[in-house]
Amino acid sequence: MTIARTTRLTALLAAALGAAAPLHAQEPRLEGRLPETARVQVDSVVTVARQAGLPTEPLVDRALEGASKGATGARIVTAVERLAQELRTARDALGTHSTDEEIVAGASALRAGATPADLARLRRARTGRTLTVASAVLADLVSVGVPVDTAVAAVIALAGGAADADYVAFRRNVEQDVALGASPVAALGVRLDAAADRGELGQSAGPASKPPRKP
């Protein structure tokens, strides 16, 4: 065997090991926290997600949450698989250049009832700015009782002119109004009018930014 041939074989072997390594990579945070069968399955989902360029932290977090709450292994695996699919859908809707935080927040919005088309509209309406807080606020508004369609319209209406802090303040104000007894839709309408008065509604978002009608 010549030196050149030995070198080529070594390089091939190293390449093969390097390619195979991620398939067997184990998430250290899962060690000792899950039943072994569930750990292997979750590890597999995490590995596939990593290879697809998806954020994997939320998957591990979801498995750890299930473990802390005493869920069965099967239930944990189901939850992790579902979240992986939502992350994939969110990334496809928001675009491949989206940050991990945007994808995670987008997945939350999907779980709250938004559609992939809604996320795509939000991306177009908020060009060049992060969608993390906007998507998160969308999910939060739904959680306080705002219908999904109305929440989507409000978040998109704010997309052109609102900073992240404006989104956070908007969500907080709506929550306070609801806590004081206002209906979620009425509270959202009032706060949206106030945002319009402050010039937080963008001028360039087009018809998608039209505020939702109050009841």
Partner 1 sequence: MSEDREWFPRLVEALREPVRIDPALDRRIMRRVAGEAVPRLRWHEAVRDWLTRGRPVRLTPLGGMALAAAALSGVVAGRFWISPPAERPAVLAMPASVSGAPAAVQFVAVAPGATSVTLVGDFNDWNVAATPMHAASEDGIWSVSLPLPPGRYRYAFLVDGTRWMADPAAPAAADSDFGSTNSVVTVGEP
The reply on whether position 177 binds partner 1 by CB under 8 A is no
Task: Tell whether residue 67 is a contact of partner 1 (CB under 8 A).
Answer: yes
Residues in 80-99 that interact with partner 1 by CB under 8 A: 82-83
b/e code 124-140 from CB counts within 10 Å (16+ = b): ebbeeeebbbbbbbbbb
Among 139, 155, 188, 205, binds partner 1 (CB under 8 A): 139
Q: Is 28 in the site for partner 1 (CB under 8 A)?
A: no
Q: Which is nearer to partner 1, 29 or 210 (CB)?
A: 29
User: Which residue bears the tokens 């001028």?
Assistant: 203
Segment interacting with partner 1 (CB under 8 A) among 46-54, 72-80, 184-192, 202-210: 72-80
Q: Using alpha carbons only, what angle is made at residue 143 by residues 66 and 138, rounded to the nearest 5 degrees?
A: 105
User: Which member of 40, 48, 120, 144 binds partner 1 (CB under 8 A)?
Assistant: 144
Q: Given candidates 40, 64, 186, 196, which one binds partner 1 under the rule CB under 8 A?
A: 64
Q: Which residue lies nearer to partner 1 by CB, 46 or 83? A: 83
CA 149/CA 147 separation, integer angstroms: 6
- HEC sequence for 21-74: HHHHCCCHHHCCCCCHHHHHHHHHHHHHHHHCCCCCHHHHHHHHHHHHCCCCHH
Q: How far is CA 23 from the centre of its chain?
A: 24
> Which residues contact partner 1 (rule: CB under 8 A)?
29, 57-58, 61-62, 64-69, 71, 75, 78-79, 82-83, 101, 104-105, 107-108, 111-113, 130, 132-133, 136-137, 139-140, 142-144, 163-165, 167-168, 171-172, 175
